[in-house]
Amino acid sequence: MKYKSIYRLKDPLNEARIAGPNNKFLHLIEDYYREEILMRLAEIKIREDSENEEILVSLFSLLEEIFEHGNLTEIDLVSILNNFRCENTNEILELFLNKNILITTHTGKTIYPKTLNQKYYLSALEKNDIIFAVGPAGTGKTYLGVLFAVTKLKAGEVRKIVLVRPVVEAGEKLGYLPGDLKEKVDPYLVPLYDGLYEALGKEQVDKLIEKRIVEIAPLAYMRGRTLEGAVVILDEAQNSSQMQMKMLLTRLGYGSKMIITGDITQIDLPDQNSSGLVQALKLLEGIKNIQICHFDRRDVMRHPLVEKIIERYEKHENKSLQ
């Protein structure tokens, strides 16, 4: 097999950085592009018959530029691979060089958008009062929404955070479950708690819940309320009924924001056509101060295999529809 040289690193020290620990980064790149890549003495070679020369040249140039100013984690690289195109090199570079830090957690970890759609989402959260975030699991739509709510609470811009979820699995009949309301609905709110615990720590979150500054409620319990000075987050919104969605949206009060997240491919309702999220996306598009943000498998921030699993399922589902 013959190989051709496509790129020479400006700084030989970047060879080890780009290859990563035990060549893990290089293997990720090879796997993503189904390409054999040789990197030695700051020179990068690929097969002569490769069709990836242009995008790999742009990619290695981008990575070298990023490494000259900082470091990348494995999840950062996966995000870059999923989102990178030759034509968006400058946008990706801007994303990682000028990190728009959302929050620093109680452990000192900085959280910032790692995909272009995440960047657009955080911008939409700042500029709008109702924001729909739609896409597959692992894209950060709920996690970033919770962290955004925490930043607004800490800045004194809102008085409380309200976490809401339709409890489809229990048929909304929570009275048969042991414990108080919080204990009954807690198992359904784990993704929301994850963000709160990471941002503030469990002890602080428990204090905020005790003071009702952070409030947890099943969707069915929101009827008749007006939510003012709050960030309201409805998770798993695809499992809300049309009546429930209308009810929640009309609870919005002054000084509040509402973040509605869901995945329309994961509807658990007996009648999938009755999803309140699906209806709301059709009815409310184009209204000022309402923004719809879409995520896809390129935004998945989990193990690299998750993106491949989603891709295979999408192909299977598309075949089933044909």
Phi, psi at 203, each rounded to 5°: -60, -45
Residue at 71: amino acid letter: N
Looking at 2-6, 54-58, 216-220, 315-319, which range is the least confident one?
Answer: 315-319
Q: What is the DSSP letter of 241?
A: B
| pLDDT > 70 fraction of the chain, expressed in percent and rounded | 92
| pLDDT, tens digit, 9 for 90 and up, residues 128-181 | 999 999 999 889 999 999 999 999 999 999 999 999 988 755 344 445 555 565
Q: What is the DSSP string of 32-90?
A: HHT--EEEETTEEEEETT-S-HHHHHHHHHHHHHHHTT----HHHHHHHHHH--GGGHH
| pLDDT, tens digit, 9 for 90 and up, residues 181-221 | 566 666 667 778 888 999 999 999 999 999 999 998 888 88
Sheet of strand 290-294: strand arrangement: 214-218, 160-165, 230-234, 257-262, 130-134, 290-294
Please report how many Cα atoms fall inside a 13 Å half-sphere around the Cα of residue 72, on the Cβ side: 31
| pLDDT > 90 fraction of the chain, expressed in percent and rounded | 63
| Predicted local confidence at residue 220, as pLDDT | 81
CB 95 within 8 A of CB 113: yes
Q: Where are the beta strands (DSSP E) in the chain?
A: 3-8, 37-40, 43-47, 103-104, 110-111, 130-134, 160-165, 214-218, 230-234, 257-262, 290-294
Residues 6+ apart with CB under 8 A from 238: 262, 263, 264, 266, 267, 268, 275, 277, 278
| Predicted local confidence at residue 225, as pLDDT | 83
Predicted confidence band at 270 (pLDDT cuts at 50, 70, 90)?
confident
Structure tokens at 61: 């140039």
| Predicted local confidence at residue 185, as pLDDT | 64
| Predicted local confidence at residue 170, as pLDDT | 39
In words, the CATH class of domain 103-321 is alpha beta
Domain covering 3-97, topology? Ribosomal Protein S8; Chain: A, domain 1 (3.30.1370)
Residues of the chain with CATH 3.30.1370: 3-97
CB 291 within 8 A of CB 128: yes
CB 216 within 8 A of CB 182: yes
Angle at 112 between CA 122 and CA 188, to 5 degrees: 70
Taking alpha carbons only, the member of 263, 279, 282 closest to residue 133 is 263
Residues of the chain with CATH 3.40.50.300: 103-321
Residues 6+ apart with CB under 8 A from 131: 121, 124, 125, 145, 257, 258, 259, 260, 290, 291, 292, 293
| Predicted local confidence at residue 189, as pLDDT | 75
214 vs 146: CA distance, rounded Å: 11
| Predicted local confidence at residue 217, as pLDDT | 82
Mean pLDDT confidence for 268-287: 90
Mean pLDDT confidence for 79-102: 90
| Predicted local confidence at residue 183, as pLDDT | 66
CB 41 within 8 A of CB 48: no
| Predicted local confidence at residue 148, as pLDDT | 96
